Amino acid sequence: MTYEIAVLLASEGEPNPLLPHVSELIVGTIAFVLLFLFLRAKVFPVFERTFAERRDAIEGGMERAQAAEEEAKETLAQYREQLADARHEAARLREDAREQGAAIIAEMRAQAQAEGRRLTEQAHHQIEADRVQALNQLRTQVGSLATDLAGRIVGETLEDDDRARRVVDRFLDDLEDRAEASDRA
């Protein structure tokens, strides 16, 4: 429909509103070229510079982020290495403590055994001393009882101490020999 109107107007001799005049085309082209040259000389460099700054900022930010990430990875690796070293050190310290504990226990056990042997020997010596003392007291009491008994049997007093002591000692030695002989049999 617009085409028909354009044809109708062209046939009447009026200018076609869809087709511009040549002078308008020339002025429009010159204005376009001037505007283009102005934009290319003044505006486009500013745009390019702004775009370059943005690109550098973005790429620099990415590079900084990558550098920070690498640094974080290195720090993490160092942390893990230090943690592993600390775990090994802790294990070594535990093992050393365990060994020291075992050595202390062994030393205390040896000391306790030595003290036990010493106490046992001391007790044996004390028992032996008590036995000898009891034997001497018994000998003295048996000797005096034997001399009193012998004096009553014989009807005389045996007051000669040396002689009475020899008789009692011989009698007790004879009793001990008989007791040892019966223990062996």
135 touches 105 (CB < 8 A): no
pTM of the model: 0.38
Domain ranges of the chain: 19-184
146 touches 171 (CB < 8 A): yes
Chain-centroid distance of CA 169 in Å reads: 76
pLDDT tens by residue, 56-90: 888 887 888 888 899 999 999 999 999 999 999 99
pLDDT tens by residue, 112-134: 999 999 999 998 999 988 888 88
Rounded Cα distance, 67 and 72, in Å: 8
